[in-house]
Structure 1
Amino acid sequence: MLDERQVRLPLPPERRRGTTAGLYVLLGLGYLLVSLWLQRRVLADPGGLLIGHVTADADMFAWWLHRFPFAVTHGENPLVTDWMHWPHGLNALWNTAVPLLALALAPVTLVAGSVTAFNVGLVLGPVVSGLVLVAALGPYVGAGTRGWVARGIAGALYAFSPFHLAHAIAGHLNLTWSLLPPLLLLVAHHLFARGPLRRPWLVGALTGLALVGQLVLYTQTLAIGVIFLVVTAVVLALRFPRRVRAHLPGLLRAGLACVGVFVVLGAYPLYLVLAGPNRPRGAIRNVHATGADLANLLVPTRLTAVRAVPDGVDTELGGHIGEQGGYVGVAVLALVVVAVLVVRSTTLRVVAAVGFLSWVASLGTSVVLLGDYTGIPLPWLGFAEVPLLSEVEPVRIQVVTALCVAVVVALWVDRMPLDTPATAVGAVALTALAVVSWLPADAQEVRPAPVPAFFAGGAAPLGPADVVEIYPRITAAWDDGAQGLRWQAASGPAFRIRGGYFIASDPEDDVAIQSRWNRYQIGAQWVADGKNDPSDDYTAAAHRELRDLGITAVAFVPGYAGGDEARALTWTRRVTGDPGRFDGGVWLFRLPDAAPVG
């Protein structure tokens, strides 16, 4: 018999599969440890703290995570609801409802609550995104140790890129799960490989399935992914015009299969997007104000550890820190340029070209430099009037740029010249410098997510027939404006609310992100600010308005609104005509003559 110590035998297929699985596990554990370290502040109380400290989005995401299992277990449609924005209701596909994540995280929600589920989702999002890229790079890099090192580095760069760090601190759960871009990288390999497309119907069907998944995760990323898959095809067609004719039949078959699967499996979500109830009847954002700041290419925020720029420059960037994820930096740019010039790889150059085009697109319709709008037009201006595509925030195309950077680094590590000691030292040094320049800073934040005992205990005096006005008013304001959503969800929910934080329409507004101010809310703000008491006529009109709006009760939560809460409490008694009942940190006032829902 041959001695395995003397003859190197091929690794059996089972052993290879086991080794590969083990490498994925090791990489996954490594990414998870980094993610846990970055978000370790939430570990002290994962059910009482929320990751992120920029926007009210965390409370909104937690509400939708709660909505899905609640709807399913109560026989309701999880994609349409009137528990918020009553009686008009909401269309989940026009809100960042993340139904696919809500399904995946439902066990956590049911056991530990939606706040914990939100935090778990934000910790896992970058980890899973990085691992998907590791898998997608399989056809592009070698299968040996060097190839796995390249894939591991690229996965880490993508998972903890400036893009994902920015959206984590903003509480953008939907954008930390950036699975589609690396999946489309894998699709591109099968669609655009040198030889004829094998099994086009299967490739197209699987692509359609991935697009359906993204449709019920976040529609903007779906649009961005499809646009840049087409861009990749165009770049390749320009590079290899003679191959277009040979590839067209297979691509057409794959396209038909993709569209067929997408339309059939995504029929209902597509209906909700295109013609469903309560969708906005106008533009939900100004596309001209959602581009990236040109300076962000070289100016990192405080979320990046190495910042070779003067202190304070990042505060001049346009937008807020949650959308300032476009940092590339001098070291990474140098690596990309060297890789393009040195490595003989068409794939690398195509990826670099797509990355450059995505960066230009992310700047939006005109150049913004350190917060100043220059008026210099850019190509994305062509999408400004295109239905649906005009709703894409170009700054979020930075995810494609981050992906392309990570892929270029992977291809470089896999193929960089190591022929001589000098070139080896130079290549390794450049790589190390580029990787270090993207190290995340220890700057992620959390904020308290308290729930008064009244809501945590189920808000027993209230029921599904009740429509409740919560004070302080629920708004889109960044500083805890949407905390009332967290309280309603924690109650079961036990009751409906007319207000909220959402994207919808109603009879009065083509686009609404929160309910209109009513007389009760205006009066409460007025007296809390120290103004004179409203007249009896105004008080009576406020009472009638609450009744006409279908409000059956007011939940006044002291300690959260600021201002003169004692006067606001007195005003609430005047309007409702009820002395109120204090229970579990909340004053509850009934409107005696209000008709319950239904």
Structure 2
Amino acid sequence: MPAATETTPGPRHARVPLPPRRAWRPPAGRYVLLGLGYLLVSLWLQRRVLADPSGLLIGHVTADADMFAWWLNWFPFAVAHGENPLLTDWMHWPYGLNALWNTAVPLLALALSPVTAAAGSITAFNVGVVLGPVVSGLLMVLALGPYVRSPGARGLAARGVAGLLYAFSPFHLAHAVAGHLNLLWSVLPPVLLLLAHHLFARGPDGGPGLRRPWRLGALTGLALVGQLVLYTQTLAVGVIFLVLTAVVLALRFPRRIGAALPGLTRAGAGCAGVVAVLGAYPLYLVLAGPARPRSAIRDVHSTGADLANVLVPTRMSAVRLAPDSAADELASHIGEQGGYVGPAMLALLVVAVLVIRSTALRVVAAIGALSWLCSLGTAVVLFDEQLPITLPWAAVAEVPLLSQVEPVRIQIVTALCVAAAVGIWIDRMPLAPAPTAVAALLLTGFALVSWLPADAQEVRAASTPAFFTDTAGALDPADVVEIYPRITAGWNDGAVGMRWQAASGPDFRIRGGYFIGADPDDDVVIQSRWNRYQIGARWVADGKNDPSDAYAARAAAELRDLGVTAITVVPGASPEGGDDDRVRAWTQRVTDDPGRYDGGVWLFRTPVAAPVG
């Protein structure tokens, strides 16, 4: 951002640029204290899981928690057994999955692998949910270093409050209750905020501030590659808004473009070189790798934020001026309703932009406004009703790859900009005369209180039948298992079968799962397919007439064609309920096997001759 210049005495009061004021850096111990403070807040919000971190899962909205637990387990297993950690056929057999097209969080799986090895992937998932906001908040504190100038307590307070707001923003609170581990580790946005200062700031001589552009470009490339193997959607959002920042600055300071371009070109080349070398294989998997979906994963026109959410909080906010019934009318589910800003915070942001003479603040505010507009998607949705108003994101809807971005998740950039603007405001807000100071402090206090998190985080039981924790002698890697209840994306424990498979080692492959992939018949598949066995099982569980012998024979033949070697039936585990005895009898008919009951699970062998491998 532009450095200050001041007028010095002399002929015609010539403007002489002064050396830039160095940003005050708090002692390292202060960062440790801030980190401990953020950790205590995160632990308090998620304290319900502390009673049994290996038997409870944070989040009670979607099946995503079970999916993340599977991928956290997969990475260390794959490395230990010489498998490719970014490709797998242990789920969705025999077609397999591409980790970069799933929320596999490989980098996070690597970081949490000691926890996974010591305490299992459920505990690793819970640890990741607790630590994600803490790490993201601390990175926000570091990123504000060049933007906050006050030394001592005021500068520390400005950065500490900004980090707290970012870490426990409505965006992160919403995705925590949804179990979206990938979005709780929102580490790239603050890193890009810091890099934006070094890429686009003016130097003390009034020229471009870019120093050592090759090294800075390489660091930017490393950040992008790291995000590539963490979560690709946040990578796309981050790059888009880094470019938008450059555009906003170019429009604001067009005369500086010529001087800045050489350094930025070298930095861009350095960034591209690092991404091309270190990110070559991940990029190949995204762009042309096997097992990737062959068409759009979701309808981009249905993944925008609800306009009302900017003023209507959900139950994840402690202070709710709107009735709870208003939040119930918002589009989507609570896990995607993280766009709350609120009237008090909006008022503070407007006052800050009008009162504080800071280019950095105004650019941050502009980017925040643009990100909020983009997060609404391709058209305005108000209380779940689409209005005939087309929005700028519609231009992205037809762009390959970018059309896969869910615009509602751009809200993380809005949260970042709000937190950064508040930090700059606290750093520079007027504290004299007294009436001005009182008004500024009151407005700031109201805004901060409006973002207090509610004590509303949830957990759910994550029990695993004993059979799956010790399958020695019963199942092995040559087995492909059909699990009843069928694995789905359903919110009510639809994907528990994935967690059971992970708990076994995994010791066996599964035909279905909850994932993003494709098969020969469909360009996009997101959950295990219905087959005749599962259709019959659901039929009899619901108390309907038994399928015919001919249908049972076709079900057995279909399992044989799919390569299924065994079926496990877990009584009492179906989210839809039903008659488990009839399911067991149906499975006996299909497999011609009386079954074996062990560790809370019925195991049936199917007459499949060809083993996996």
* TM, length-normalised to structure 2: 0.94
User: Cα offset for 1:17?
Assistant: 11
CA RMSD of aligned residues (A): 1.1
Q: Secondary structure of 1:478's match?
A: coil
* 2:426 equivalent to 1:413: yes
Q: 2: distance between equivalents of 1:18 and 1:158? A: 20
Aligned to 2:15: none
* 2:259 equivalent to 1:246: yes
Deviating above 2 A after TM superposition, structure 1's stretches of 4 or more consecutive aligned residues are 16-19, 592-595
The aligned runs of 1:482-521 (5 Å cut-off) are 482-521=495-534
User: Cα offset for 1:597?
Assistant: 1.1
User: Cα offset for 1:592?
Assistant: 2.9
Paired residue type of 1:343:
I
Paired residue type of 1:145:
A
* 2:580 equivalent to 1:565: yes
1:163 corresponds, among 168, 171, 176, to 171
- 1:551·1:594 contact (CA, 8 Å) conserved in 2? no
User: Cα offset for 1:457?
Assistant: 1.9
* 2:131 equivalent to 1:124: yes
Aligned to 1:468: 481
* 2:362 equivalent to 1:349: yes
1:574 corresponds, among 580, 586, 589, to 589
User: Cα offset for 1:516?
Assistant: 1.8
Q: 2: distance between equivalents of 1:130 and 1:298? A: 24
User: Cα offset for 1:400?
Assistant: 0.2
- 2:314·2:324 contact (CA, 8 Å) conserved in 1? no
* 2:590 equivalent to 1:583: no
* 2:300 equivalent to 1:300: no
Q: Secondary structure of 1:499's match?
A: coil
Q: 1: distance between equivalents of 2:388 and 2:486? A: 38
- 2:24·2:148 contact (CA, 8 Å) conserved in 1? no
- 2:26·2:152 contact (CA, 8 Å) conserved in 1? no
Deviations 1:143-202 (A, max 9, x none): 332111000000000000000000000000000000000000001000100123111001
* 2:141 equivalent to 1:137: no
Aligned to 2:159: 151
Deviations 1:508-566 (A, max 9, x none): 11000113210000000011111111001001010111011100000010011111111
Deviations 1:468-490 (A, max 9, x none): 00000001111110000000000
Q: Which moved more, 1:211-220 or 1:512-521?
A: 512-521
Q: 1: distance between equivalents of 2:511 and 2:482? A: 7
Q: Which moved more, 1:25-34 or 1:188-197?
A: 188-197
Aligned to 2:199: 191
Q: Secondary structure of 1:233's match?
A: helix
* 2:38 equivalent to 1:31: yes
Aligned to 1:176: 184
Aligned to 2:453: 440
- 1:547·1:595 contact (CA, 8 Å) conserved in 2? no
- 2:168·2:453 contact (CA, 8 Å) conserved in 1? yes
Runs (5+) with no aligned partner, structure 2: 1-22, 204-208
Aligned to 1:259: 272
Aligned to 1:382: 395
User: Cα offset for 1:375?
Assistant: 2.6
User: Cα offset for 1:459?
Assistant: 5.1
Q: 2: distance between equivalents of 1:312 and 1:594? A: 58
Q: 2: distance between equivalents of 1:46 and 1:536? A: 46
Aligned to 1:90: 97
User: Cα offset for 1:311?
Assistant: 2.9
User: Cα offset for 1:18?
Assistant: 10
Aligned to 1:206: 219
Q: 2: distance between equivalents of 1:129 and 1:413? A: 20
Paired residue type of 1:462:
L
- 1:459·1:491 contact (CA, 8 Å) conserved in 2? no
User: Cα offset for 1:573?
Assistant: 0.4
Q: 2: distance between equivalents of 1:382 and 1:215? A: 24
The aligned runs of 1:19-58 (5 Å cut-off) are 20-58=27-65
Aligned to 1:597: 612
* TM, length-normalised to structure 1: 0.97
2:553 corresponds, among 518, 540, 544, to 540
Q: 2: distance between equivalents of 1:240 and 1:115? A: 51
1:115 corresponds, among 113, 122, 125, to 122
User: Cα offset for 1:594?
Assistant: 3.9
Deviations 1:314-337 (A, max 9, x none): 000000000000000000000000
User: Cα offset for 1:70?
Assistant: 0.3
User: Cα offset for 1:434?
Assistant: 0.4
Q: Secondary structure of 1:156's match?
A: helix
- 1:355·1:400 contact (CA, 8 Å) conserved in 2? yes
- 1:133·1:182 contact (CA, 8 Å) conserved in 2? yes
Paired residue type of 2:129:
L
Deviations 1:61-93 (A, max 9, x none): 000000000001111110001000011110000
Aligned to 1:236: 249
- 2:24·2:155 contact (CA, 8 Å) conserved in 1? no
User: Cα offset for 1:293?
Assistant: 0.1
Q: 1: distance between equivalents of 2:89 and 2:27? A: 48
User: Cα offset for 1:118?
Assistant: 0.1
Paired residue type of 1:218:
Y
Of all paired residues, the percent bearing the same amino acid is 76
User: Cα offset for 1:458?
Assistant: 3.3
Q: Which moved more, 1:483-492 or 1:187-196?
A: 187-196
Number of residue-to-residue matches in the alignment: 583
Paired residue type of 2:606:
L
The aligned runs of 1:358-437 (5 Å cut-off) are 358-437=371-450
2:111 corresponds, among 91, 104, 108, to 104
Paired residue type of 1:152:
G
The aligned runs of 1:257-296 (5 Å cut-off) are 257-296=270-309
Q: 2: distance between equivalents of 1:505 and 1:375? A: 34
Inter-CA distance 19–416: structure 2 relative to 1 (3 Å threshold): closer
Paired residue type of 1:55:
T
Q: 2: distance between equivalents of 1:218 and 1:525? A: 35
Q: 1: distance between equivalents of 2:309 and 2:55? A: 34
Q: Secondary structure of 2:425's match?
A: helix
Q: 1: distance between equivalents of 2:418 and 2:37? A: 21
- 2:315·2:324 contact (CA, 8 Å) conserved in 1? no
User: Cα offset for 1:310?
Assistant: 1.9
User: Cα offset for 1:595?
Assistant: 2.5
Paired residue type of 1:102:
A
Q: 1: distance between equivalents of 2:608 and 2:406? A: 46
